[in-house]
Structure 1
Amino acid sequence: MLMKSLDRLEETLDLETAALLSRDLRNLDEFNRRKSQSLLEISRMVRAAETLAFDGIAAKRFERLKIKLERNQEILQRHMRAVQEISSIISGAIQAAESDSTYSAHMVRGGFGA
């Protein structure tokens, strides 16, 4: 059962990472839900088996999962930095437009010289 949960989590990470790399952001909510569900399942199983030693296969799977999680995190961070940069550019443009009277009170009231 643990291996099936690890399979599902790895598949979700692979799909999300591929989507992020191709800039397809439509399913991010679904990926988040699936990752949360998988991590909850795995953490419950690991807690229940705390006293048992994992075999070599499980240890290798956890190591592979760790690498995939780190890669996924790196790509998510890259996207977050890009979003922050874009929002900063937009914010700066709005502030600049407001400060050069592009959006004056006269225009906001609907009067263009009326």
Structure 2
Amino acid sequence: MSRIEETVDTETASIRTDIRFDIKSSNARKSRYLYELNKAVSALGAAQLQEQHRDDIARLREKLATNERAILAHLNAVNEVAQLMQDAIQYAEADGTYSARQFG
């Protein structure tokens, strides 16, 4: 649980602050740890794990929700930048005549 929490915390903070953050490798690590957790749940039994680690599970859920919001904000920002670039390219390629898109 602690490795997953640490990975999620690092990813969340890095998405917000580090433009060079490697989200692909972080996501692979996070997936691997969640897979390991799933195997542990299968081995111990969900009821036993939930009983023994109720607070840990609740904290992890909260951290994953925060992580999801950070990822969605990042994706929205990427989409906005991509749209701005697309608009700039279309504007630069325009020959000065009106297009159907400008009237839409």
TM-score range, shorter chain: 0.7 to 0.9
**Number of residue pairs aligned between Structure 1 and Structure 2:** 96
Q: Does 1:71 align with 2:32?
A: no
Q: Does 1:80 align with 2:93?
A: no
Q: Which has the larger radius of gyration?
A: 1
TM-align CA RMSD? 1.8
> Could you tell me the percent identity over the aligned residues?
32
Aligned-partner Cα distance in 1 for 2:62–2:72: 15
Residue segments in structure 2 that go unaligned for 5+ positions in a row: 97-104
**Pair 25,69 (structure 1): closer, same or farther in 2 beyond 3 Å:** farther
TM-score by length of 1: 0.75
1:54, distance to aligned residue in structure 2 (A): 3.1
More helix by share: 2
TM-score by length of 2: 0.81
Aligned-partner Cα distance in 1 for 2:51–2:25: 32
1:52, distance to aligned residue in structure 2 (A): 4.2
Aligned-partner Cα distance in 2 for 1:92–1:51: 51
Q: Does 1:46 align with 2:41?
A: yes
Aligned-partner Cα distance in 2 for 1:51–1:57: 10
1:44, distance to aligned residue in structure 2 (A): 1.1
Residue segments in structure 1 that go unaligned for 5+ positions in a row: 1-5, 102-114
